Structure 1
Amino acid sequence: MNPNTPTFGGETSPLSPRPLSHLADVQRRVLSSAQLREHGVPAARTAAQCRPGGPWQQLLPGVYVLHPGPPTSEERLHAVLLYAGRPAAERARAIPAQGAAHAAPPDAVVTGLAALALHRFSSAPPLLSLDRIDVLVPRTRRLRSTGCVRLVRAHVMPVAESVAGVPVAPVARALADAVAELTDAQAVRRLLTEAVRGGHCEPAVLVRELTQARLLTRAHVVDAVDSLLAEGRTIAEGRLYEMVRVHGLADPLWNVDLRLPGGPHIGGVDAYWPDQAVAVELDTRAPRTGGRQPDEDDLWCEYSQKRETLERLGITVVHITPRKLREAMEQQATVVRTALMASADREPAAYVVVLPR
């Protein structure tokens, strides 16, 4: 006998007329009332199976676990997604036809601490220890938080990532949703630090997400973010040093300010080769999107003005993002090496004063 085959009143009985063989293992153990009806189980029989001492249990409204013991973390995840999400056929009808090759995107996505646990954060509690699982849903959904599911309404649903077959929010969004519920400053700091040290997301992207969630008005979050930004830049600088050493580039002047002789300050750069007039700057800005804040526009303007000034003086500026350093260090080293080699074919750059930063 298959231990996952549901039983009725003590005897084994298939959920005919539709077989269960097409379902994954966890899907055989967790079904919605609609799915049970599809398999020939009427509501009255479902209710009878869920009586005290019965073989089934109702975990959430309209969602049933087909065994009497405590649900596993996988079963809880599947149950909350069944409760919060619409069937795939209904989702497909709700969006314009895109052809058979395009599946309807999920409208229920695990977020918060549960998502971070799925992303394998060591500082996130284990799934089984969470009283509630946060699930992102479109703000127009008419549902309520209940039982082990807490609904988080989103004006715009993020592009979900599949982790072990579960639709999960990207790390930055999951962190923002988790931090929104946390008052423990140390817990917030541990999560943000692990996100950066573990290479899960860039500090600037995370800061943008926290800003959009209006969490930077909380003192303990601001303190953690200050440490986060310092942590992120330190890690990126370490990778820049490694790139120069490992890929055999000439040693530059590190962390210097450039200014015109007797003139104004131009700006700081992370590495500078004066003989070749090549500068490298770590670009820690968040990617540009349509919803920038005024201070972000000021930052972009400052970067652009500095780059234009340096290039007008004949200095080549190579911008490198922390992500590119992490994921494609050899490629970035080639870009810098090419810029250094090309200096012999350029007109000599204007003389600039180099000062320690």
Structure 2
Amino acid sequence: MATDEHRIRAALLHGREGALLTGIHAMLRHGLRSAPEPTDVHVLVPADRRVGSMAFVHVERTTRLPPARVLREVPTVPTHRAVIDAARRMRNHDAVVAMMAEAIQRRRCTPEALARELADGKRAGRVLPARALAPLLGGARSVAEVDAWRLLGRSKLPECRWNIKLFTADGRYIATPDAWWDEVGLAWEIDSRRHHSGPGEHAGTLARNTRYLRAGVVVLQTLPARLRSEPQKVLAELRAAYGIARGRPRPDVHTG
């Protein structure tokens, strides 16, 4: 029975010399795991090559063949190209955000590299990746943070900063809140049960909240699901938290 490796090598043989692996299979080779299951093998070939798609092989002709990286003996495109090539063929917004966010979080590429690739590439399939990328360029780093970013656009609150490290006056680390309003000292944490339900994760969350308390930081915790199920209630809570933070002296904390 043919394995994914067999299919990948067969697809590159079909594309002939200079063909490169891209899309989801290329992302997997770069160590990314958030993309959906691939339905075919996506390869790039020179624009003048007369090779078409067939069976499990999706052939894309391009004038923009990037330098290859040989990963496990397979010529592969760079991470940013693999992510954008995959995203242009997808229809699920959350899935596109998740794989872009993973690439950025794991430092496989920068948001700016994704934006350049999206701008320089084909127009077809560009709208959804562009919409998914905008909050990530603003500092969001997950599907939940993207939901929060979009909700904040309706809040009329001042702009915040995303994923900024906080320190006490004497340099001790406090936390890295999902969102931070520096002028009033307000932190917003989008805390999912899945990532904070284990003994270690729960203890870490309690320790983080204690550091916030000692530093005098007002912190609002929100479950990700509520960003979609109860957006108006979340906005009301956020505005109230901002009012509380603004109504007391700003704590002596610094970003870094």
TM-score by length of 1: 0.39
The SS at the match of 2:54 is: coil
1:342 aligned residue: none
* Aligned: 1:231 with 2:159: no
Q: Give the gaps of 5 or more residues in structure 1.
A: 1-69, 87-106, 247-253, 257-357
Give how far 1:114 is off.
1.2
Aligned with residue 118 of structure 1, among 10, 29, 53: 29
The SS at the match of 1:153 is: strand
Q: What is the 5 A alignment of 1:1-357? A: 70-86=1-17, 107-126=18-37, 130-213=38-121, 214=123, 218=127, 220-229=128-137, 230-231=139-140, 234-235=162-163, 237-238=164-165
- Choose between structure 1 and 2 for higher RCO, CA contacts under 8 A separated by at least 6 residues: 2
1:287-319 per-residue CA deviation (whole Å, 9 max, x = no partner) reads xxxxxxxxxxxxxxxxxxxxxxxxxxxxxxxxx
Give how far 1:245 is off.
5.2
**Contact 1:116–1:174 at 8 Å: present in 2 too?**
yes
Give how far 1:255 is off.
7.6
**Contact 1:210–1:216 at 8 Å: present in 2 too?**
no
Aligned-CA RMSD value: 2.9
Residue type of the alignment partner of 1:109: L
Residue type of the alignment partner of 2:56: C
The SS at the match of 1:159 is: coil
Cα 1:120–1:143 change in 2 (3 A) is same
**Contact 2:118–2:126 at 8 Å: present in 1 too?**
no
Runs of 4+ in 1 over 2 A off after TM superposition: 213-217, 220-223, 231-235
The SS at the match of 1:205 is: helix
2:57 and 2:47 map into 1 onto residues whose CA distance is 16
1:131-151 per-residue CA deviation (whole Å, 9 max, x = no partner) reads 310001110111111011111
**Contact 1:216–1:222 at 8 Å: present in 2 too?**
no
Give how far 1:212 is off.
1.5
2:58 and 2:102 map into 1 onto residues whose CA distance is 24
Give how far 1:156 is off.
2.3
Q: Give the gaps of 5 or more residues in structure 2.
A: 142-160, 173-180, 184-256
Give how far 1:215 is off.
6.3
Cα 1:189–1:74 change in 2 (3 A) is same
2:66 and 2:182 map into 1 onto residues whose CA distance is 37
**Contact 1:196–1:231 at 8 Å: present in 2 too?**
no
Give how far 1:222 is off.
3.1
Cα 1:143–1:192 change in 2 (3 A) is same
1:216 and 1:75 map into 2 onto residues whose CA distance is 28
TM-score by length of 2: 0.54
**Contact 1:117–1:125 at 8 Å: present in 2 too?**
no
**Contact 1:84–1:135 at 8 Å: present in 2 too?**
yes
1:247-303 per-residue CA deviation (whole Å, 9 max, x = no partner) reads xxxxxxx989xxxxxxxxxxxxxxxxxxxxxxxxxxxxxxxxxxxxxxxxxxxxxxx
Residue type of the alignment partner of 2:16: G
